[in-house]
Amino acid sequence: MILTLTLNPSLDRAVEIDDLVRGEVIRATGTRLDPGGKGVNVSRALLANGVPSVAVLPCGGDEGGQLVRLLADEGVEVIAVPIAGRTRSNITLAEPDGTVTKVNEPGPCLHPTEFEAVSARLLDTAGRADWVVICGSLPPGLPVDAFAQLCRRLVDAGLRLAVDTSGPPLRAAASAGATLVKPNREELAESVGRPLPTLDDVIGAAGQVRTWGAGTVLASLGAQGAVLVDAAGVHIGDSPVEQPRSTVGAGDALLAGFLAAGAAGPDALAEGLAWGAAAVSLPGSRMPGPADLRRHAVRLRPRPDDLPHLVARR
């Protein structure tokens, strides 16, 4: 079983439009409402493919109740911790060419006692998990030190910890000894404090994150695929999508597929890429199931130290 924690979950409303024109009345061509948040999406993707998962999350207000109901409708086992604040709502505007515009609310503040209650429920359940996965942004006002302490408690308990976040929290998770971190290019750049325009830059930054204490770095690069850097070396791959519909949740599906396939080596990277590409082909933040996967489209590439010109060209 894979246990996920989403500290700042959401209701995600995706609206499909023909063209985004500022200041105009725009008529939607389609709409859907999904449970949202990175960890929530990881659980949804795993369960859609028959991999057991349990989602831990704080929830509050009518929005929190609706989020739990939507997850129940998808068969997701939820450990919901009540909070005083209101669960946030996010809006995604998706255009036919794959362009996505997102408006995300900041989400509620977590009182220290609420964060401790969430942490306690996570730790109580973690003993029966193969992986503990913490994903997404921190709630407003939550100290990075509190997040770092939670990561250390999980690692010290001998649990395999995967973290998908950015900035100081990503560094805190790596320094705590997380087994796996999965930033995208922008999140990785923010964490190391410099732009990463080339593949070589991404690989160097991933190596730097490993020096902080992380065992494996899986960096998602959008349409360029993903890079896996671990003790065995570097693996690169992509999976082209002819008709992208929404990139929302694609990185979460990538992480879910990687974990489902064993979370090590090129085979796990290939599976993650297949899941991520399938998510891009679907509307809103819908997670792919087995019928959506196109494993034959995945391309694994030579390592850059075998083909230096590959790095230079990209």
Known catalytic residues are 252
- In three-state secondary structure terms, 33 is strand
- In three-state secondary structure terms, 131 is strand
Burial class (CB in 10 A: 0-12, 13-18, 19+), 19: exposed
- DSSP H or E run through 153: helix 144-156
Q: Is residue 168 within 8 Å of 186, Cβ to Cβ?
A: no
Angle between helices 185-192 and 167-175 (to 10 degrees): 80
The dihedrals phi and psi of 183, each to the nearest 5 degrees, come to -85, 160
Distance CA 308, CA 290 (A): 36
Q: The tokens of 248 are what?
A: 């929302």
Positive/negative CA dihedral, 262, 268, 273, 275: negative
CB-based contacts of 18: which residues, under 8 Å, 6+ apart? 26, 29, 95, 96
Distance from CA of residue 40 to its chain's centroid? 9
Q: Is residue 241 within 8 Å of 277, Cβ to Cβ?
A: yes
